[in-house]
Each structure stands twice: as structure tokens, then as C-alpha cells.
Amino acid sequence: MATRPTRAEAFAGLSVAIVTPFKDGAVDSARLKEQIDFQVRAGTTCICPVGTTGESPTLTHDEHERVIAESIAAAAGRILVMPGTGSNSTAEAVRLTKFAAKAGANAALVVGPYYNRPTQQGIYEHFKALAEAVDIPICVYNIPARTGRNIEPETIIRLADLPGIAMVKEATGSMDQASQILAATDLTVLSGDDSMTLPLLSIGGRGVISVVGNIVPADMKALCDAFDAGDLAKARALHHKLFALGRDLLGLASNPIPIKAAMAMLGRDTGDVRLPLVSLEPPLADKLRQVLAAYGLLK
């Protein structure tokens, strides 16, 4: 569908928040490359390693940098790379974002400062420091359910005055908030919730940073492509098809517990989650198998 151009149109469509694969307690580089090759074959626009789905909170600083560097090397220019580089410490976020930029990342996905609950002015200054520290575009990742602090739309609108701020990963679940941002800025707004992709596209969003895309990227990409082509009936049918899968992959337990379990069930084992996350409990694993079977992914 015809839409006004946004600030980071290169990132429109499907981005996938990839998991961090582990083997014997360490990052599994071979499986990481397999994941990225899988996304390249699917025609995914961008991969987002070391975000929430990538278990960044339990990676060491060395591991975080290693996954960024190995993802960029494996992508080899075939797919965009937007790693997570956020922190509740501005100095640490700047350091990690500079590392990503130097390693060749195309953009940085920066979660709002968590735990220390800064004021809106503090959040503004945090992202301003990042935008001024690097030349790659910054995606503001707003997920108050995890950070403990919403980045208010007025703050994002202020941040839009900074050239380095290009995108928003909108994971508040509020269409009012997204509408306010889209009406007042040319930022590229991407859904942070699979089930909200079509609603967000309908008000001017430009795509999704997806979890279900780890297993069904073609379907999520088809939804975005159908909407862009003006085929609303197809987009709506795909939304309904994907809905239960997205709901349960994010709702059975904390992300990325269910998606890692699903990948293992589908023969793409990426290892267990790290403590304090634990594996999916047997009754929930049975429910997940039923959901995958209903979707047609398991017999």
C-alpha cells in the first residue's frame, strides 16, 4: 500500500530477533551461522542478535561482542544486522554500540534503560549520547514490561529531532502510543509483538522484529509483503493463521524459553536457556507441541 517514506525504509518488512545458540554452556558458533543462513534463504530483511530473544542479560560482555561480530561475519552483507546494544548504564551502552558500529553492524537496537528507572529527561539524554557517539542508525526499543519504564511518546518525538535516531521497536502494546509517534515523526516504527504486526502496519508501521520468524519467517514476511501490496485479505488471513503461534511462543513462558523449545522440537536445537531461565515444563511443552501441530509444523 502507498505510504509516506520513513527514516529507515531499508529496515521495513521482516526482521527476526534470533536466539543465541549454546552448546556445553558456550556460544555455539556453528548453529549461529546456520540460523543466519536460514534467515537469508527465507528472504528476511534483517537479523537482530543479542536482544531479549538472544538472552543478552546472561551473556558475558565478551560473549555479547563475540555474537555481534560472528553474526556480522556470517551475514556477509547478505542480510542487514541490527544487534542489541542496550544497557542500564549509558557508558556501557555507548561502548557496546561503538563496538557494533566498528564491527560493521547496519544499525543498533537499544532497549530503554532498565532497573534504575530514569526520568524521561534521563532517557532522552541516554539516547542522545548514543546517537552522538556512532554513525549507524539507532532503533529505540520500548518494552516497559521488561524495563520498568515506558519511553513516553513525547520523549520519542523529542528524540526524532536527532538524526541518529531512526527507528522504534514498539513493544508497549499501545496503538495510541504508536499512533502518536507515527503522526508526529517520520521514524520507522516496527512491531515488537508478532500479534500486533498487522494492526501496526495499518496505522503506518513498517514491519516487525519477530520471534516467530525464527521458525516461520516465510509466513511473517508474506504478511508484511501482502500488506505492502495492498492485499489486505491475504494479510488478514496470515495474521489469523499466525496469531495462536505467536501468542503461545510469547505467552507460555518468558521469551525465549518457548521459541528455543519449539526449535528443538522442529529439529533445529539451539541448546537450553541459561539460568535464571529454565526449560519449558512438561505440560507446557505438550501444549507447545499441540500448537506446532495445529500450525502444520509437527505431525
Give the residue numbers annotated as catalytic, written as ranges: 141, 169
**Other beta carbons within 10 Å of 146:** 15
Please list the residues that pair with 113 across neighbouring strands.
Answer: none
- Per the structure block, which three cell numbers stand in for 220? 511473517
Q: What is the largest CA-CA distance in the chain?
A: 52
**Other beta carbons within 10 Å of 298:** 14
What 3-state DSSP class applies to 182?
helix
Q: Shortest CA distance to 48 belongs to which of 114, 125, 111?
A: 111
Say how far apart CA 153 and CA 256 lie, in whole Å.
27
Please list the residues that pair with 139 across neighbouring strands.
Answer: 109, 167
Classify residue 109 as left (phi > 0), alpha (psi -120 to 50) or beta.
beta
Say how far apart CA 259 and CA 278 lie, in whole Å.
13
